[in-house]
Structure 1
């Protein structure tokens, strides 16, 4: 194997080491829908419905995620990307295990559900931390030496959003396999193991990250040791942050409730069948449709660009959503047709905003405040997910089940319009250019940029690495 090929493989592997932990986001958010179905079968729907536990379990994880995004956005910028990533995976591993071990005093079901809710909140903090730490690091690694300029966006999408979607798929499949193993008489083992297995990927990623270093861009342009001029930053990036945050809010408002409640919707359209094999099986089929859109979108984004790939996905998703709303009654009479059309709806969402919101959030902002910019935008997105789980959850009527598709499709069109009007397109090596422009902007406004970076030696090394990258690309 040639040295250049080894360098490329190492560069790509670093992107995945940063982004792969987002698998835990997809798994944690996807698994709770099936767990709720199991809890209702074990303890009774009336008991679980008391105090609205079903929606509470789903939405508290989002609340924790928001805390994690905002807190670790600051930690990512001021302490370091690696510290944030290692802490995040540790939190996910710990509280995935404790979620599985949830129990109430003297066997109280209410106590069990309360502990599970609390553990889901704390788990959400770790999941949220991955966005401004792991995802941001993945974006910075995507522009380091060894990465083909025409594949920078692709590797980021494959290492981040595709990992989230793969987590959704695995989260749908795991309860089905465990149910095959344990059967109806051991459903408690099924839901506990479904949650507990979330420990495994978190620990594997923790080990993978042990020998990582900070990205070159962070070493050169961070404000770890400098005062962050928030007023100047808001003047330059406030409008971009608002536009990206708004579209992220709309995306999560649409996609997360549909993913979480897919098993509930299938339960409704299969006539409230008692067969968990049927419910979980169709849930797997539906969640598999996340992957084609995410994978195809990852290979399209470097050609259309993140902005126009996102707009394309949103408009196609809206078309499918309106179709599902108009023909819902007919589709529910043909479960296979419903699953396919519903899956295509989810797939276009991943092709567009799923793959590209993270790209736009991370590569629109400068390195110095990238973690906080990304964390704020993603947190506002999760507010949309939080609101969506309460707005759309638990309906058993035709109007209640079609409403989300009418609303979601309309919001997808609105999001496409906002993206077209207010979000700038990205280019290859855009972060490097943005960092230079940001320094010039700060200097023009009297800010001392000499304190940026994490040390004179590392800045020199970073500059040499960029020069080496440029020279090798010119030779190629």
Structure 2
């Protein structure tokens, strides 16, 4: 399909049909709906996919810390578990992530921001699902791979060489960002421009391999623990996929409220039945129920918190807005990694309570989150990005700013704005 035909189909007049100067024509094209831009399907979709590649790396690097922590605990024993090192490793990882969110949130639009703006050029009614598939689904896929890779590495090195194994697992995390470099260099800027985590999702994923050590027989090889963690993390994928479609069908707000409410209910049920689940012979049931719990977390907050954070602000501040929101999400995850070990320690030698306490706290927070989302979040439509930009433009005009040059190359060069 030619560009002229695409413009005709989208009811956007060709450049020669605009009156006035080249600058006036540029303004008219810039203020047209994003879905009307003369691009093919691949040109519209490629920036979304490129952003998703970076978030896959985010998921892997955050998830693999859990397996590394498990290996360090086995290597150093009480020297590691009885010291501050136990929480220092995941804490350092999350501290770096938070700083990165804040730094790049101010410096430029992050991965999720770029994906959100790119989906504005896609077909209405499908935008939320593609945003989620390029963001939360990619993060979840990174978490699944972050448990699968340590299983393969430990099988290859053997449990007598865990010092090499944990270093290999971390080193492999450099490959996705390097592959992303090519994608980002070849990705075009979209019309609008000129990365999401909650307490239970990250914390449960990070400690999945550690918890399974409690349930599996003491003589089970470590690779089985990582394999079980892979199975549990895999439940995130169908949850993220279902939530992606529900976000378009019923809206992000109701998808979030419904998903996190059901997650809390399942979590309370697991808390009550944990004494029955905490048996090596019933590890399959534990995996299924924990998987459902985590999948519902993806249907609700996992899929939708990034969508809210990246679509509820205008283009000039979207990167900063999302960066702050994502940093707070990582703070919640950091609190989870710090609190969960304390909850387990508070249970003493009672293995049942060691499993019940984290589920009880997380389930309570799920219900609390559902209430906050119900009363505090707005409904997000398919055109929210364009609506927020229009509101910002009206705000500027009401306060005496001249917006006639907004969107032109000259305006961007003089002001450094992305609008």
What is the TM-score of this pair, normalised by structure 1?
0.74
Corresponding residue number in structure 1 for 2:32: none
Corresponding residue number in structure 1 for 2:200: 254
Residues 52-451 of structure 1 mapped to structure 2, 5 A cutoff? 52-76=84-108, 81=109, 133-144=110-121, 147-219=122-194, 252-333=198-279, 334-393=282-341, 395=344, 397=350, 398-449=352-403
Give the distance between the partners of 1:67 and 1:448, measured in 2 at CA.
36
CA change 1:2–1:352 in 2 (3 A) is farther
Q: Which protein has the larger Cα radius of gyration, Structure 1 or Structure 2?
A: 2
Q: Count the aligned residue pairs.
A: 371
More helix by share: 1
Per-residue CA distance 1:14-62 (angstroms, 9 max, x = gap):
20102221111211111111111212223x2122225321211012211
**What is the deviation of 1:285?**
1.0
Q: Supply the RMSD in Å over aligned alpha carbons.
A: 2.2
Per-residue CA distance 1:144-179 (angstroms, 9 max, x = gap):
2xx111111111100000000000000000011112
**What is the deviation of 1:454?**
6.6
Retained in 1: the 8 A contact 2:56–2:141?
yes
Give the distance between the partners of 2:150 and 2:102, measured in 1 at CA.
32
Give the distance between the partners of 1:448 and 1:50, measured in 2 at CA.
63
Retained in 1: the 8 A contact 2:54–2:111?
yes
Give the distance between the partners of 1:315 and 1:57, measured in 2 at CA.
32
Give the distance between the partners of 1:41 and 1:274, measured in 2 at CA.
13
CA change 1:62–1:452 in 2 (3 A) is farther
Corresponding residue number in structure 1 for 2:49: 16
**What is the deviation of 1:263?**
0.9
Give the distance between the partners of 1:319 and 1:384, measured in 2 at CA.
21
Retained in 2: the 8 A contact 1:442–1:449?
yes
Give the distance between the partners of 1:447 and 1:63, measured in 2 at CA.
39
Retained in 2: the 8 A contact 1:257–1:393?
no
Structure 2, unaligned stretches of length 5 or more? 7-37, 414-419
Retained in 2: the 8 A contact 1:218–1:453?
no
**3-state SS of 1:150 partner:** coil
Corresponding residue number in structure 2 for 1:85: none
**1:40 maps to 2:15:** no
Large movers: runs of 4+ above 6 Å: 1-6
**3-state SS of 2:186 partner:** coil
Give the distance between the partners of 1:318 and 1:17, measured in 2 at CA.
34
**What is the deviation of 1:457?**
8.2
Give the distance between the partners of 1:208 and 1:312, measured in 2 at CA.
36
**What is the deviation of 1:452?**
4.9
CA change 1:204–1:288 in 2 (3 A) is same
Give the distance between the partners of 1:52 and 1:138, measured in 2 at CA.
38
What is the TM-score of this pair, normalised by structure 2?
0.84
Retained in 2: the 8 A contact 1:22–1:164?
yes
Give the distance between the partners of 2:187 and 2:289, measured in 1 at CA.
42
Corresponding residue number in structure 2 for 1:31: 64
Structure 1, unaligned stretches of length 5 or more? 82-132, 220-247, 460-476
Per-residue CA distance 1:65-89 (angstroms, 9 max, x = gap):
111111211111xxxx4xxxxxxxx
Corresponding residue number in structure 2 for 1:225: none
Retained in 2: the 8 A contact 1:69–1:375?
yes
**What is the deviation of 1:304?**
0.8
